[in-house]
Amino acid sequence: MAKLSLQPNPTFKAKVGIPVAGDEAAEVEFTFKHRAWADLLVWIEASKDKTDVEVVQDLAVGWELDDAFTPENIARLCDNYAGANAAIYAKYLRELRGVRTKN
């Protein structure tokens, strides 16, 4: 069981199922930024006018892919895998809210 600290780690890791057309989702581990609830609500509102690349950069600091975590590569991921941005965003919100799904 995880030990609770009132000051959470500034980052956390979670695997995101990136949808792949005609195949199973590919699991990619992201390192996400932790946000307190009030900060998360402000961030969600501010993110409404941002691009997919800006949103992913705002919520993550890295991934387990061989390609560097750069704006250009984030754009390639979102362009080549149309559901990637939604999957990343949804996983981030689920993790912050503590919602876990069974595999």
Read off the pLDDT of residues 49-91 as tens digits, 9 standing for 90 and up: 999 999 999 999 999 999 999 999 999 999 999 999 999 999 9
pLDDT score for 98:
82
List of long-range contacts for 30-34, beta carbons under 8 Å, 24+ apart = 30/60, 30/62, 30/63, 30/64, 30/88, 30/91, 30/92, 31/60, 31/61, 31/62, 31/63, 32/59, 32/60, 32/61, 32/92, 32/95, 33/58, 33/59, 33/60, 33/61, 34/8, 34/9, 34/10, 34/96
Query: b/e map of 66-98 (b: 16 or more CB within 10 Å)?
Result: eeebeeeebeebbeebeebbebbbebbeebbee
pTM beyond 0.85: the answer is yes
pLDDT score for 8:
87
Beta bridge partners of 33: 11
Average pLDDT over residues 2-17: 90
pLDDT score for 100:
58
99 falls in which pLDDT band (50, 70, 90)?
Answer: low
